[in-house]
Amino acid sequence: MQARRLVFLYAPEPAALRYPEDCPFKTERVVLTRQRLLSLGMLGTADRRELAPRRARLAELEAVHTPRYLRELQRAAAGELTVDGLSMGLGGPDTPVFADLFNYGAWACGAGLVAAELLLAGHADVVFNLWGGFHHAMAERAAGFCYLNDVALACHRLAEAGCRVLYLDIDAHHGDGVQAAFYRRADVLTISLHESGKTLFPWGGFEDEIGEGPGRGYNVNLPLPAGTYDEAFGEAYDAVVAPLVEVYAPEVIVLELGMDALAGDPLTHLALTNNAHARVLEHLLSLDVPLLVAGGGGYHVENTVRGWTLAWAVCAGETGVGGPEHLSALGGVFLGNTEWLGGLRDPERPTSPEQRREVEPLLRASIDAVRRNVFPHHGLPPVAAAISPPTVAGG
């Protein structure tokens, strides 16, 4: 089998940009991930290249944002927050006004466009744009640390080129900005698995939000109950995502690989390990179609860096990278945390009977609702969910 051609997008210009110090969103995650990959010898070869992105131009950003909104973003970045800017969401606790806000978003969007062009030209099989993943930004509104929507822009560019696009979002937060961009379109199938809007921002993404007009059935939301763990997530993915992907047969995939669904993230309430993310990647890679991986959330920096490094390793076919044997071969390279001998994969997390009783009935109901609402639009039978009832004593 021929090695996959991977590209990691990196440049010193976006690396120098920062959100405010007290903001949970840390741009240095990308720099740290790159350092981890270099230390593991997984970046800088013919099949694992590093390429520089570019800033998106205003005319390109207008594909998904209004000129009026783009002007207000630039004014805010220059220190002029107007009444119109406030009405567009700027200046809130999760949309701080700071000097780099427009520049950073423009770099993330430009990187998304570069990634799309590399895939369209056949110059790469997998492209990582960890600068991006700003899935909350709307055409004329900022939210959730997101000002410019790079993933919507990349999906638009790919669809514009005639591709059948799958946008899969496994960030803990609902990808509402991407949903809004393609809610009436069938050339981009958007699927978001996220913590339920009953317990987490942006308080939406429910099972009955399935698109409108030509897009009806092409917008899919699978809310996850707080406390969702690897096994339940995997069964939900198999019951909803895998059948839809098979029948849709995408020609290119954009994956929002937020790591805030990991247990221990300070802003969310899910209980996944990075093995769940690796499992998703393994399925997508088996489809053998071009893949764009965008960053997204992840507010425990070390866990996010390990998760993204593992994702790159999976794409590179290096399933044993980061384990003790590999580290020994590299002369004991230090992974950067106190559990480096465990490698890149998180240890398995125990699941209590109480956790299962709380998660499984809610998740089963969500799966059944999605299948009833969406599957008939794709010629799929809305059969019962796959999750089995708890078998523990007293369950």
Catalytic residues: 136
Orientation of helix 150-160 relative to helix 101-120, angle to 10°: 30
CA atoms within 13 A on the CB side of 24: 17
**Burial profile 147-182: b = 16 or more Cβ within 10 angstroms, e = fewer:** bbbbbbbbbbbbbeeebbbbbbbbbbbbbbbbbbbb
Helix (H) / strand (E) containing 311: helix 301-315
Task: Order across the sheet with 165-169: list the strands.
Answer: 48-51, 6-9, 126-129, 291-294, 252-256, 165-169, 188-195, 219-224
Provide CB contacts within 8 A for 391, sequence distance 6+: none
Residue 321 backbone class (left: φ over 0; alpha: ψ -120 to 50; beta: rest): beta
CA distances from 197 to 44, 206, 264 (A): 41, 7, 19
> Pick from 18, 25, 28: which is nearest to 100 by CA?
18
**CB neighbour list of residue 98: distance below 8 Å, 6 or more residues apart:** 18, 19, 20, 77
Burial of 219 (0-12, 13-18, 19+ CB in 10 A): buried
Report how far residue 317's alpha carbon sits from residue 252's, in angstroms, rounded to the nearest whole number: 20
Location of structure tokens 């047969």:
249
- Chain centroid to Cα 155, Å, comes to 13
Question: Do 271 and 227 touch, CB atoms closer than 8 A?
Answer: yes
